[in-house]
Amino acid sequence: MLELNEVSVRYPGSKLDALSDINLTFEQGEFVCILGKSGSGKSTMIRCINGLQTPTTGEVRWKGQALSNMKEEQLRKVRRQMGMIFQHFNLVPRLSVIQNVLTGTFGYRNSFKNLIGWFSDQEKQQAKQVIADVDLSSMADRRVEHLSGGQKQRVGIARALLQQPQIMLGDEPVSSLDPGTSNHIFSLLDQMHKQRNLLTIINVHDVNLAKRYATRLVALKNGQVIFDGKPEEFTNQEFLEIYESKDNYTDSNTR
């Protein structure tokens, strides 16, 4: 359903490709973790998938159609099928949990309603539902600036869910969280992914977390795919090849 065909990206002024000839096909229901050292191209790949970055050559296809051939309105429609969560949450600190979550409807609304911040009762009801789904009902009216990092990321997930996405994308969504909270966020992503049959694609540095939750691992090195397989196929050897270091690796497949 989502294909990257010979995708390469070279940023202006650079002599090297940030992504080089990537060929990947992702199916609905997969939980994919993207691994790779800093600078390997993970964020660039996520930006190509959500249409924020146009490949220098090659194309990203969604349900058979190239994003680069889509008109503005069609691209907007595709984008709202892609929920996105971020390392630094990208929330508005002074607004409440529910106000932040409601901005997830913006892709569906006309810009005048967005401008005046008017939301229907139905939209508010849907927002309350996704807030309950991430177990934050008791905090719906609290300002986001008063929440912990893990709670903020749950707001980020609720906002993405309100878009009723088919794909959930994450660019290092747990990199600023402690290990226990990171596990909790991944477990929530896993739950949402199963309940809604989402295609989930998450960039992550923690290999153990990736192995625990992903159905498929893709590893990048210097902009190229050097591993694409099941978590149990990802061995110490692969780890060494990607990170060139034994640090932070313990082999665990237990949940």
Ligand X SMILES: Nc1ncnc2c1ncn2[C@@H]1O[C@H](COP(=O)(O)OP(=O)(O)OP(=O)(O)O)[C@@H](O)[C@H]1O
Contact region for Mg ion (CB under 5 A) — 43-51, 125-133, 135-143, 216-224? 43-51
Neighbour tally for 173: CB within 10 Å: 26
Q: Does 39 contact ligand X by CB under 6 A?
A: yes
Please spell the DSSP secondary structure of 61-94, one letter per residue.
EETTEEGGGS-HHHHHHHHHTEEEEETTTT--TT
Q: Does 43 contact Mg ion by CB under 5 A?
A: yes
Per partner kind, with CB cut-offs from 5 to 8 A, the member of ligand X, Mg ion, none near residue 18 is ligand X
Least distance to Mg ion from the beta carbon of 174, Å? 13
Residues 5-34 that bind ligand X (CB under 6 A): 11, 14, 18
Out of 20, 40, 99, 103, the residue judged to bind ligand X by CB under 6 A: 40
Q: Does 182 contact Mg ion by CB under 5 A?
A: no
Backbone angles phi, psi at 104, to 5 degrees: -65, -15
Contact region for ligand X (CB under 6 A) — 41-49, 62-70, 136-144, 184-192? 41-49
Per partner kind, with CB cut-offs from 5 to 8 A, the member of ligand X, Mg ion, none near residue 44 is ligand X
Residue 159 tokens, joined? 């906002």
Rounded to 10 degrees, what is the CA torsion of 144, 136, 107, 90?
A: 30
Rounded to 10 degrees, what is the CA torsion of 49, 53, 59, 65?
A: 60
Q: Any residues with CB less than 8 A from the CB of 75 and at least 6 apart, and which? A: 51, 67
Q: Does 153 contact Mg ion by CB under 5 A?
A: no
Least distance to Mg ion from the beta carbon of 224, Å? 16
Q: Does 44 contact ligand X by CB under 6 A?
A: yes
Q: Where is 150: in which H helix or E strand? A: helix 149-162
- Residues making contact with Mg ion (CB under 5 A): 42-43
- Residues making contact with ligand X (CB under 6 A): 11, 14, 18, 36, 38-44
